[in-house]
Amino acid sequence: MDETINPFSPGAGTPPPELAGRAEILRKAEVTFRRSLSGMSTQGLMLVGLRGVGKTVLLSKIGNLAENAGVQIVQIEAPEGKGLAELLAPELRRLLLRMNLGAQVATQSRRALQALRNFVGKLKVSVGDFEVSIAPEPGLADSGDLETDLTALFVAIGEAAKEKGTAIVLLIDEMQYLEDEHLAALFAALHRVAQKQLPIVLIGAGLPQLVGIAGRAKSYAERLFEYPPVGPLTLPDAADAIQSPLRAVQCQLTEDAMQRLFEVTQGYPFFLQAWAYAIWNAAKSCPIELSVIDAATHTVLERLDTSFFRVRFDRLTPREKDYLRAMAELGAGPHRSGDVAEQLGREISSLAPLRAGLIKKGMIYSPAHGDTAFTVPLFDQFMHRAIPEWKAVPSRTKNGATPSK
Ligand SMILES: Nc1ncnc2c1ncn2[C@@H]1O[C@H](COP(=O)(O)OP(=O)(O)O)[C@@H](O)[C@H]1O
Ligand SMILES: [Mg+2]
């Protein structure tokens, strides 16, 4: 059918035609920023889930809702290997300038600008010039210690927001990539702001390892946030995601076609979009039948193999590929780390650094102690296609003669 009116939108962070099954998370987010706006204490949110479940589109949606409610938003994505201060400072500067727009610079806003100026000066972060001439205030956010200074900065900004009668929502994506120390500083700053009932709240998103990373950074991170899981859609929600946009263009999937689509995608939003996009293009008429789904599957997988999966595969070292292939040999997972080690004919302990590296890269995570799982849904099947010829180490798994290095 006509590709130019294809309603579906596979991609990273591309808004879906129908944001299905997320009403409860959106409601929680709304409660969070509305409480903050009324000067009440509130927990932040950490949306955790695998790749392609829709964390980024949720953050954007929450950002829109917050803006419409009169909340100031600061939206950033943590890239691998960039510091928190460099990431935050330019956005906070933009925020402060925006908050002052048109009005005379209010007392607390001026102090917040001073704090930011001291903060960037001390930590040598470049954010461009400060247009507003402000007298320096020594001792404000200028100790050189990230945690201390970020806390002072957040308090100053929180007081400015309070003075202006607004609230600030920080939306930070891919939080698992932040260094432990930076995360600790961020949590300490938010903790202080919460104690002082100042209106700054974090709504973050990241891969499942974020929960552990957060707890390690600060033990109170558990109480500072709620961690609503963002998972695959249920069949009724998946049907909503696909059938509503189709209905809008007078089309439908037959019931068994929808059922099959749900099976091949396992309800993962990104896969639903990718399949639906291809199915629409391949279909000749409506309603779209089961045979069209089956015919499209090959094309979709080929496309995913050269894009979505491949970009992740290409970032791996040969040993990392081998580890993931061993996992894939055992199925979708999660798997006991010991079982993966056995596939490779190695001791668990000798594989620990490799496994830790893969967690850091965001390829795998540990759903429970000693368990390992892929962060990308259907990655096990991809690994089989990418490396079809692979053998576990039989002599070592059978006779126990285990040369571990
Ligand atoms: N609730 C949803 N219903 C339908 N499609 C969705 C939903 N959430 C996300 N998508 C689609 O899934 C894909 C991945 O979303 P994204 O937010 O990038 O995921 P993540 O950030 O978790 O990796 C996008 O194509 C998006 O349009
Ligand atoms: Mg994302």
**Side-by-side strand order, sheet with 168-173:** 72-77, 168-173, 200-206, 44-48, 225-226
Ligand 1 pocket member 55 (CB < 6 A) = yes
Question: Can you give the pLDDT at residue 393?
Answer: 75
Are 206 and 176 contacting, i.e. CB atoms less than 8 angstroms apart? yes
Q: According to the model, what pLDDT value does residue 60 have?
A: 98
Cα(353)–Cα(259) distance, integer angstroms: 41
pLDDT in tens, 91-111: 999 998 888 755 566 788 888
Site to probe by mutation for ligand 1, drawn from 177, 270, 304 as the one with most ligand atoms within 8 Å of Cβ, is 270
- Contact by Cβ (8 Å): 364, 372: yes
CA distances to 107, 208, 209 from 49, rounded to whole Å, are 41, 5, 9
Going from the Cα of 256 to the center of ligand 2, the distance in angstroms, rounded, reads 30
The average pLDDT across 390-395 equals 73
Centroid of ligand 2 to alpha carbon of 24 (angstroms): 19
Nearest CA-CA partner of 171 in 78, 85, 49, 290: 78
Q: Band the pLDDT of 10: cuts 50, 70, 90.
A: very high
CA of 348 to the centre of ligand 2 (A): 31
Q: What is the distance between the alpha carbons of residues 212 and 283, in angstroms, rounded to a whole number? A: 45
229 lines ligand 1 (CB under 6 A): no
Query: Which residue minimizes the CA distance to atom 26 of ligand 1?
Result: 16
Q: What is the pLDDT of residues 48-61, one digit of tens each?
A: 999 999 999 999 99
Ligand 1 atom at shortest distance from the alpha carbon of 14: 27
Q: Does residue 75 line the site of ligand 1, with CB under 6 A?
A: no
Q: How far is the CA of 16 from the centre of ligand 1 (A)?
A: 7
Q: For the segment 238-282, what is each residue's pLDDT rounded down to a tens digit? A: 999 999 999 999 999 999 999 999 999 999 999 999 999 999 999
pTM: 0.92
Residue 154 has pLDDT above 60, yes or no: yes
pLDDT of residue 391: 85
Atom of ligand 1 nearest to the CA of 21: 1
Question: In the 3-class helix/strand/coil scheme, how is the chain assigned residue by residue?
Answer: CCHHHCCCCCCCCCCCCCCCCCHHHHHHHHHHHHHHHCCCCCCEEEEECCCCCCHHHHHHHHHHHHHHCCCEEEEEECCCCCCHHHHHHHHHHHHHHHHHCCCCCCHHHHHHHHHHHHHHHHHCCCCCCCCCCCCCCCCCCCCCCHHHHHHHHHHHHHHHHHHCCCCEEEEEECHHHCCHHHHHHHHHHHHHHHHCCCCEEEEEEECCHHHHHHHHHCCCHHHHEECCECCCCCHHHHHHHHHHHHHHCCCCECHHHHHHHHHHHCCCHHHHHHHHHHHHHHCCCCCECHHHHHHHHHHHHHHHHHCHHHHHHCCCCHHHHHHHHHHHHCCCCCEEHHHHHHHHCCCHHHHHHHHHHHHHCCCEECCCCCEEEECCCCHHHHHHHHCCCCCCCHHHHHHCCCCCC
- The tens digit of pLDDT for each residue in 115-148 reads 998 998 888 877 766 655 567 788 899 898 999 9
Residue 219: name the closest of 244, 188, 260 by CA: 188
Q: Is pLDDT at 402 greater than 50 in this prediction?
A: no
Q: Helix crossing, 146-163 with 180-195: angle to 10°?
A: 40
With cut-offs at 50, 70 and 90, classify the pLDDT of residue 299. Answer: very high
Is the pLDDT at 398 greater than 50? The verdict is no
Q: Give residue 132's pLDDT.
A: 52
